[in-house]
């Protein structure tokens, strides 16, 4: 796949090795948790809410920003940053991440980036890039990584799985053919996928689902609602 990428970003071959490690001994520790714009997926919101011991409804209200510009097809959910002069993550401290076990997929993936698309047969194709930023000294650590090693170490499999599942909506053939959502449908997108606890309350047939089952059923329900 030929991509036009910034100078500090390059595509990685599946088995390509790179040096990287992140830990409190690296002098840039937590710098990547500041001055960032962090978009959240439905699975991110679910995992963060469980880590914090609050509902998805409360997480969205207390910690998130929801934006939808005129030319956006789907609303976007961001983690609200602290107004500390460095736009810091609300969960970062000098000791590191306070929600480490429930941290979002983008945080787990860094310094990699993952992009995926569905082909005409509906199969998912993914590729990874390596992002080298000047502030990050994790690349100086003598620890060899590969995409698979990093994915396993960071617990990314369920994040990737649910992100790929979401493409059955966001990359649906009708969306590719310029279908646009109404304001009510955009709100349904948030209510169904991001506020899963609210979705459970509104759908008593789903009250016994575990969280993974609930999100799977929410994706399937929304796809039927939007596309028939």
* Closest of 167, 51, 95, 164 to residue 63, by C-alpha: 51
| Percent of the chain clearing pLDDT 90 (strictly above) | 87
| Residue pointed to by tokens 């890039």 | 129
Give percent of the chain above pLDDT 70: 99
Question: For residues 226 and 118, what is the distance between their CA atoms, to the nearest angstrom?
Answer: 18
- Per-residue pLDDT reduced to its tens digit, 46-88: 999 999 999 999 999 999 999 999 999 999 999 999 988 888 9
Q: What tokens appear for 98 in the block?
A: 């306070």
Q: Which of 85-94, 117-126, 191-200 has the lowest mean pLDDT?
A: 117-126
Q: Is the pLDDT of residue 119 over 90?
A: no
CA–CA separation, 29 and 22 (whole Å): 7
pLDDT for residue 120 is more than 80: no
* CA distance readout (Å), 46 to 39, 108, 112, 220, 227: 14, 15, 22, 17, 25
Mapped onto helix, strand or coil, the DSSP state of residue 92 is strand
Domain ranges across the chain: 13-221
Model pTM above 0.85? yes
Question: Does pLDDT of 2 surpass 70?
Answer: no
Band (pLDDT 50/70/90 cuts) for residue 121 is confident
Q: Report the pLDDT averaged over residues 178-185.
A: 97
State the average pLDDT over residues 123-151.
Answer: 95
């Amino acid at each position: 796949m030929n991509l036009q990428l910034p100078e500090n970003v390059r595509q990685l071959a599946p088995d390509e090795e790179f040096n990287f490690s992140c830990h409190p001994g690296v002098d840039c520790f937590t710098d990547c948790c500041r001055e960032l714009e962090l978009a959240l997926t439905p699975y991110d919101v679910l995992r963060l809410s469980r880590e914090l011991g609050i509902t998805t409804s409360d997480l969205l209200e207390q910690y998130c920003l929801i934006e939808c510009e005129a030319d956006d097809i789907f609303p976007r959910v961001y983690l609200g940053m602290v107004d500390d002069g460095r736009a810091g993550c609300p969960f970062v401290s000098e000791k590191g991440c306070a929600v480490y076990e429930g941290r979002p997929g983008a945080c787990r993936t860094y310094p990699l980036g993952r992009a995926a698309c569905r082909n005409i047969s509906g199969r998912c194709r993914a590729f990874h890039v390596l992002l080298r930023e000047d502030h990050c000294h994790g690349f100086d650590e003598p620890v060899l990584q590969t995409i698979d090693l990093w994915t396993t170490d960071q617990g990314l499999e369920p994040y990737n799985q649910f992100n790929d599942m979401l493409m059955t909506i966001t990359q649906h053939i009708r969306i590719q053919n310029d279908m646009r959502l109404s304001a009510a449908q955009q709100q349904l997108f948030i209510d169904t996928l991001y506020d899963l606890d609210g979705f459970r309350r509104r759908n008593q047939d789903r009250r016994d689902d575990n969280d993974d089952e609930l999100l799977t059923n929410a994706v399937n329900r929304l796809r039927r609602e939007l596309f028939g």
